[in-house]
Amino acid sequence: MKIISFLILAVCFLLTLALGAQNQQLVNFDFLVAQGEFQLSTLLGIAFGSGFAIGWLICGLLYLKTRFSRNRLSKKVAKQQQELNQLRAEPVKE
């Protein structure tokens, strides 16, 4: 599975390089505080890189949240299992 994900990442990177090599013209880019002329390949690379980083950040945060939740629930289940074993070990009172 890791090999497949690595291959997909490598193909995306190569596709970005191919697009960048074909798009060398200058474009006027207006952003919030200023404007500038950049190569189209540079803008494509920045957009791809920032999207990739934001995606990894969001997925990483969701993974950590799930991991902490799983650990908390595992501790809760272990505690309840211990209580259940103690109740089963006690003799029945009438």
The ranges assigned to domains in the chain are 1-82
Most confident of 29-33, 36-40, 61-65: 61-65
pLDDT at 54: 97
Give me 86's structure tokens. 């103690």
Query: Which residues are within 8 A (CB) of 89 and not within 5 positions of it... i.e. 6 or more apart?
Result: none
Helix (H, G, I), strand (E, B) or coil at 32: coil
| Cβ pair 22, 45 in contact under 8 A | no
Most confident of 9-23, 46-60, 64-78: 64-78
What confidence category does residue 72 fall into, taking pLDDT thresholds of 50, 70 and 90? very high
